[in-house]
Chains A and B, each alone.
Chain A
């Protein structure tokens, strides 16, 4: 069977992915019209391009429906339990940088570190009768991170967009979200904790450990690896 390579289907992430492969002598592009979601790969025999939403690529890799795929390293860690048993990282691609951070209102001058956040959570719960709310869409990553660092008495509330606005709207007390420049956080009077990001994400080429790797798919992979200088 042909090797199925999943790439983001639109926007800057798609363009940068095409540029990155192009710089390695692998030309890819959309087939037909601008609106048609199918693509082609030149220069690699037996490789099909699959255009997908970046958020679905982790799931498709884990299910083995695509052999390789480009998506953010944050999405793979968030969406796949025990992610490194399902996929492996082939190459960090050097674009799409974003940090997953925990941020609190800037006027919380007493909270700079996770240690402070934990103490604030305990006091908040005693005062308000419910656990301090952190708005995020990265539930798994944030819960694991806070558990590892022994933070208690918080709750995660789901926020799929405009997360930085939740504090002003009083639907959350703090947020955990992706930021590249910190601009949106500052504009909403939020400040990230000084412990550093929960995860530094970038666009990454993954390979699936569950896809059917027959001779044809393996041969195509070797060609891609040769172009990317990834041969062992």
Chain B
């Protein structure tokens, strides 16, 4: 390293420590996490795509390991292993990301993070995490994006259709293209030709090859049954699809967005609890001094990011620098605590800041 990169690295560490101290001042306990994480857990959570984003390495005794791509998963694991009582944590350290498509993006950078595990008042916790990060980033005058995956989930659950279709839509909520294709299919009475022909056949297995491999004939038959049941189901009503489309396209200042969502909840009562949660969050944000009037709300925000967020989501972006990744991101991940909690769960919300980007944009001290 040259003297210049040495001093930059030191400045980034100092900025990470400063941010962590801000979180500590809000009562968070500083924690560490191992850099080498077991790969199977991350693969289970994120699927094969994580291999394109995280570095995988082989340990001769422990098997496949990954260089931690974030702190959230190990921190949630630690918290759940210790009984899931209310707690708040902060951390600062390097994370590692493979960059297959963009050689200009960093493969190793610092993250400073703040996480709150607390069931008492989720709206208050959401607001506290957001306001703490916003305050730390205030001098940078960043563009802020917010959304709420919980409203989308509630809207899908509220559709008048089978549980199987709802589960399929929810599974692909984070893959907008496939979600769209599924919604179009469920909203139409027409069947794809290949599928219609398959279901019309007297013996679908005529001329099929022998049963080989682990996926058994019984599993194939189970799916054929599911396809038959699906074909017999009426399409999702056009007005429901339209309502969901309007909801996903919603982009407004937060107070106007809340009004529109309250209107939509008249026709889509299933979203009412989630919309009320948004209202409580906006009130709490205001109490924390956030200018809610000018806050942007985008109903589909966060749908293409890592798929553990299931409520409030937010990101801070440098205006006029579309080449840069977000300076800070965060959100609520109640479901992740359930997945990692082996039976127990606790509402949780957190966010991270990238000290390198804070310095690059002229912030920090």
Contacts and interface: CB of A to CB of B under 8 A. Distances in A.
A175 B198 CA distance: 23
B227 A81 contact: no
A152 B171 contact: yes
Contacts, number: 108
B310 to A, nearest CB: 16
Contacts of A82: 100-103
Interface string A148-161: 01111111100000
Contact of B208 (A109, A154, A172): A109
A118 B181 CA distance: 13
Contacts of A146: 48
Contacts of B220: 107-110
Contacts of A149: 177-178
Nearest to A156: B48
A129 to B, nearest CB: 10
Given A109-B198, A110-B198, A120 B178 contact: no
Contacts of B101: 81-82
Contact of A107 (B172, B198, B210, B227): B210
A85 B103 CA distance: 10
Contact of A170 (B47, B198, B204, B213): B213
Interface string B22-50: 00000000000000000000011001110
B51 interface: yes
Contacts of A230: none
Interface in B212-251: 212-215, 217, 219-220, 222-224, 226-227
B67 to A, nearest CB: 18
B194 A168 contact: no
Nearest to B211: A107
A112 B213 contact: no
B224 to A, nearest CB: 5
B47 A154 contact: yes
Interface in B112-140: none
B209 interface: yes
A119 B43 contact: no
Contacts of A189: 209-210, 212
Interface residues of B, number: 39
B106 to A, nearest CB: 16
A107 B168 CA distance: 24
Contacts of A124: 215, 219
* Most B Cβ at <10 Å: residue of A81, A120, A144, A194: A81
A107 B217 CA distance: 7
A82 B222 CA distance: 41
A168 B212 contact: yes
B348 to A, nearest CB: 24
B175 A173 contact: no
Contacts of B226: 123
Contacts of B51: 139, 143, 156
B87 interface: no
B48 A173 contact: no
A107 B213 CA distance: 10
Nearest to B180: A150
A120 B215 contact: yes
Contact of A152 (B43, B172, B219): B172
B223 A119 contact: yes
A128 B194 CA distance: 27
Contacts of B85: none
Given A81-B101, A155-B43, A150 B178 contact: yes
A20 B172 CA distance: 48
A58 to B, nearest CB: 15
A221 interface: no
A146 B47 CA distance: 11
A140 B208 contact: no
Contacts of B213: 105, 167-168, 170, 172-173
Contacts of A173: 213-215
A90 interface: no
Contacts of A194: 194
Given A118-B178, A123-B222, A107 B212 contact: yes
A80 to B, nearest CB: 10
Given A107-B205, A110-B224, A152 B175 contact: yes
Contacts of A128: 214
A193 to B, nearest CB: 11
Nearest to B175: A150
A109 B222 contact: no
Nearest to A147: B49
A78 interface: no
B260 interface: no
Nearest to B178: A150
Interface of B: 43-44, 47-49, 51-52, 100-103, 168, 171-172, 175, 177-179, 181, 194, 198, 204-205, 208-215, 217, 219-220, 222-224, 226-227
Interface of A: 81-82, 85, 105-110, 112-113, 115, 118-120, 122-124, 127-128, 131-132, 139-140, 143-144, 146-147, 149-156, 167-168, 170, 172-173, 189-191, 194
Given A118-B178, A143-B52, A170-B214, 10 more contacts: A81-B100, A107-B210, A119-B223, A120-B215, A124-B215, A146-B48, A149-B177, A150-B175, A154-B47, A170-B213
